[in-house]
Amino acid sequence: MTLIQAIIFGIVEGVTEFLPISSTGHLILTANLLNLFQSDFLKTFEIFIQLGAILAVVVLYWKKIMSDFVLFKKVIVAFLPTAIVGLAFYKIIKTYLLGNNSVVLWALFSGGVILIIFEMFHRKSPFNLPLIKGEKIKEDSDDIQNVTYKQAIYVGFFQCLAMIPGVSRSAATIIGGLSLGLKRKTIVEFSFLLAVPTMLAASGLDLLKSAGSFNLSEVSFLAVGFATSFTVAIISIKFLLSFIKNHTFLLFGVYRIALVLLLWLVIMR
């Protein structure tokens, strides 16, 4: 890896982490396009630079996180399913799923199809249709404080699907939240916050297992990728919040399918 490649990875991570297009999938595919072998360091690098994007959330939402302990508890509740499943299947995920081009491409494609179908169905009704029986939709507000504990735990289960690279953590949580009756801005912001403990845990676990094997140049690559993803992620978060005011996620579904068709020709030829 070179510093230029580390910057490219940081840009890709920063742009894709919070969009429903799979940052992990894009990072793996970027490695293939740059002819980089999926070594243990590269897998760790792809996980670690996501912390840069997560730091962007902390910076932008610091006051909201610190001033609302109830919201903090809801985020932790949503994180629990991922923590349990992720810890149980960590070795399988890193050994067999990360770096698997076929898994990434199929997950990107099927996720795009699901996103399109979901948005076409979802927009037919002027109001969201909650899947949780008894949940009331607060139509007069889209504040994330409206997320209930029951909705939070369900969103956490949806997030577990994103352990398959290419699915997209954002796509899984956003579709899950919309299905549960949450408003678009509400679930997008809740997804931002849920990313913080999720990625801290994933990166922390991986670093504990492999940090001692890094040399000085690899540490510099991690630092550059981290800083780049942080800077770009701030722009990406603001873009998404602006985008959802007047758009659905249907275009992202189309993008996922088009990307897979293009990459299938490039990588799998």
Rg, Å, the chain Cα set: 18
Q: What is the pLDDT of residue 67?
A: 82
Q: What is the pLDDT of residue 127?
A: 43
Q: What 3-state class would DSSP assign to 257?
A: helix
Q: What is the pLDDT of residue 94?
A: 67
Q: pLDDT at residue 83 above 50?
A: yes
- Per-residue model confidence as pLDDT tens digits over 176-190: 999 998 988 999 999
The top-scoring range by mean pLDDT among 80-89, 122-131, 138-147, 244-253 is: 244-253
pTM of the prediction? 0.82
Phi, psi for 35 (deg, rounded to 5): 60, 40
The residue among 250, 222, 194 whose CA lies nearest residue 17 is 194
Instruction: Let me know: does 50 contact 228? Beta carbons within 8 Å.
Output: no
- Per-residue model confidence as pLDDT tens digits over 10-66: 999 999 999 999 887 788 778 878 888 767 778 778 888 888 998 999 999 988 878
